Amino acid sequence: MATPSTAFQLSGLALRLVRADLLEEEAAELLHRGASEDNRSFFTQAAKSKKIPADQLSWAASEEFGLPLLDIVALDLEQAPINLVADGLIEKHNVLPLYRRGTKLFLAISDPTDRRALEDIKFHTGLGVEPVLVDQDRLAMAIDKAREANDSVYTDLVGDDEEGLEDIDISADEDDSRKTSEATVEQIDTPIVRFVNKMLLDAIKKSASDIHIEPYEKKLRVRFRVDGVLHELASPPVNLAGRIAARVKILSKLDIAERRVPQDGRMKLKLSKNRTIDFRVSTLPTLYGEKVVVRLLDTTGNNLGLDDLGLVDFQQEHYIEAIKKPYGMILVTGPTGSGKTVTQYVALSMLNVAERNICTVEDPVEINVTGINQVNINERANLTFASALRAFLRQDPDVIMVGEIRDLETADIAIKASQTGHLVLSTLHTNDAPSTLNRLINMGVAPFNIASAVHLIMAQRLVRRLCNSCKQAMEIPKKALLGAGFDSGDIKNLEMYGPVGCDVCTDGYKGRVGIYQVMPISEEMGALIMGGCTQHEIEELAAKEGVLDLREAGLLKVKDGTTSLEEVERVTNL
């Protein structure tokens, strides 16, 4: 043991080591003197000298400084949130992020006297730091192991074919003046860039309409919406959520420092000289981070003709007849994602000739067409559907398309435009064609204006097409067919098909086709509207006039083998 004079001179960790018989008093004095001369802490000097086993030194430091001592070998390092701290800081301070709980980050350190390390990590992450002491040698091995696990995660996510993924030409919308922080951009490493680029390319290859990036407490989920149905495609480590969201926000020029409010942006991916994909980005603060939804707007994929929509022959005739009229209103109804915009643009493409002036106002413009004057609403600048419509009427229009009628003001202006020599196309969110009339009346539109202005109402849904490569015939009990809506005459020689699944499709389906309820406003129906009527009365008259409802239109697609009965029931069970 140390003499009273020597013990009196030593203090702190040096004294604890001497008293625990882990270090001779003379050696402790030499280390203490050397630490002072080299301007180091006693702990650093003792660790460098190798005079004390690393595990014993860590134990003594844990006792002296009151820090928990962790055997890091028992920890699952694949779950370590290593991406929360830049590689340079991990290398500089020899630290490893272990676990994040809310706004606290538990950090493995080997030197309990290195306060600078804790301050640096706190500053760069914006999190409170809770130090955990780890044997220096074991910590170095753990950092290497965590990095290897992190690299393998990227390899698993991106795959072996990574060449050129970081060089894809992705740019933000040129009209967006919002800027992002250069410092934060530098923190987005190349593997994250490759992963996001691959995710976007995979979504295009699979013909996805949306990408959902969803953080949860212990999981990060990436889903694609393909043919109207969400499919989980990947589950990256949850600690990557912030960096993936930041990368998408950088590409779409959003404020990456703002995580408390929703944001909207746009970006473009140039695949070739003739093909550019537009993406609409939306972020939403959730309990465990920002959820990001990316909508794909492939303008080159929307060159559909009237025959591609899926209208029955007599429905197509009603539609053509309506759009050939020089004035009046055509309404297309259905939920979000039911193909209303494409149906409207098919009509606009047919009307898009040099002799016509066509104006559209949308939120936002999803399909760019040369020859059509397209306007994005901007509520912050007071450019609404109603104000754009008023401006259109001073622009000598022939055809006007309103993205959606949401309020009485927009409805009134649109109806007046249709009554004064303009053809007006618009959409509403209603379940079927007859309920659209009630919706307009409930908005406050006078029945006589509806009867005189509206020429045609179309309700629509999209059903998935069966894959022609793998669909197979199937038998369904007669009772089930009758319950689905078939009559006894239909099922005598009915051959039906169901999904199987193969390499060229998704769960037995590939692509979608529309089913429609096309309801012309006849003179008899107009008189019924002006006289005041219920939705049921409209439905009865429509059926009498031969209007197919959505279920009946869907069953026709089942009969000709385009889709399955299961799919029609999924879409039309209102």
Rounded to the nearest angstrom, the gap between the alpha carbon of residue 439 and the centroid of all alpha carbons in its chain is: 31
pLDDT at 58 over 80: no
Average pLDDT over residues 437-453: 92
Average pLDDT over residues 295-324: 84
pLDDT at residue 184, rounded to an integer: 42
pLDDT digit string (tens) for 321-349? 999 999 999 999 999 888 898 999 999 99
pLDDT interval class at 543 (50, 70, 90): very high
The H-assigned helical ranges of 362-485 are 385-392, 408-419, 433-443, 447-453, 478-484
pLDDT at 360 over 60: yes
pLDDT at 169 over 70: no
Instruction: For the full predicted model, state whether its pTM sits above 0.75.
Output: no
Both structure tokens of 77: 């390092």
Q: At what angle do helices 136-158 and 54-65 cross, to 10 degrees?
A: 100
Poorest-pLDDT segment among 223-227, 254-258, 372-376: 254-258
pLDDT at residue 2, rounded to an integer: 43
Q: What is the mean pLDDT of the chain?
A: 83
pLDDT at 168 over 70: no
Give the dihedral sign, CA 6/7/11/17.
Answer: positive
Q: What residue has token string 């949306």?
A: 210
Q: How far, CA to CA in Å, does 369 sit from each of 210, 304, 372?
A: 22, 13, 6
Reading phi first (left if > 0) and then psi (alpha if -120 to 50, else beta), residue 53 is in beta
Torsions phi, psi of 83, nearest 5? Answer: -75, -5
Poorest-pLDDT segment among 266-275, 396-405, 430-439: 266-275
Cβ contact 55:135 at 8 Å: yes
Pick 18 or 143 by higher pLDDT: 143
Q: How far, CA to CA in Å, does 33 sit from each of 57, 70, 431?
A: 18, 30, 84
pLDDT at 152 over 90: no
pLDDT digit string (tens) for 405-444? 989 999 999 999 999 999 999 999 999 999 999 899 999 9
Which one of 50-64, 240-254, 302-316, 538-552 scores highest in mean pLDDT?
538-552
What is the maximum alpha-carbon separation in the chain? 114
Rounded to the nearest angstrom, the gap between the alpha carbon of residue 533 and the centroid of all alpha carbons in its chain is: 42
For Cα atoms 514, 517, 523, give the angle at the middle one, nearest 5 degrees.
Answer: 145
Cβ contact 209:294 at 8 Å: no
pLDDT at residue 176, rounded to an integer: 45
pLDDT at 492 over 80: no
Residue type at 12?
G
Cis peptide before 81 (omega within 30 of 0): no
DSSP string over 428-442? E--SSHHHHHHHHHH
pLDDT interval class at 15 (50, 70, 90): confident
Which one of 130-144, 259-273, 380-394, 485-499 scores highest in mean pLDDT?
380-394
Poorest-pLDDT segment among 255-264, 271-280, 375-384: 271-280
pLDDT at residue 185, rounded to an integer: 41
CA gyration radius, the chain? 33
For Cα atoms 189, 194, 195, give the angle at the middle one, nearest 5 degrees.
Answer: 100
Among the listed residues 472, 441, 475, 435, the one whose alpha carbon sits nearest the alpha carbon of residue 457: 435
Cβ contact 211:294 at 8 Å: yes
pLDDT at 467 over 60: yes
C-alpha span between 157 and 240 (Å, rounded)? 12
C-alpha span between 95 and 110 (Å, rounded)? 7
Cβ contact 101:128 at 8 Å: no
Cβ contact 434:535 at 8 Å: yes
Pick 38 or 196 by higher pLDDT: 196
pLDDT at 187 over 70: no
Q: What is the 3-state secondary structure (H, E, C) of 231-247?
A: EEEECCCHHHHHHHHHH
pLDDT digit string (tens) for 89-98? 888 888 888 8
Which one of 140-144, 190-194, 502-506 scores highest in mean pLDDT?
502-506
Poorest-pLDDT segment among 13-27, 82-96, 341-355: 13-27
Q: How many CB atoms lie within 10 A of CB 380?
A: 6
pLDDT at 158 over 60: no
pLDDT at 189 over 60: no
Average pLDDT over residues 103-119: 84
- Strand ranges of the sheet holding 423-428, from the earlier edge strand across to the other edge: 373-376, 358-362, 399-402, 423-428, 328-333, 454-466, 509-520
Poorest-pLDDT segment among 99-103, 272-276, 396-400, 419-423: 272-276
pLDDT at residue 60, rounded to an integer: 80
Cβ contact 565:573 at 8 Å: no
Pairing mode of beta strands 128-134, 69-70:
parallel
Report the DSSP beta bridge partners of residue 29: none
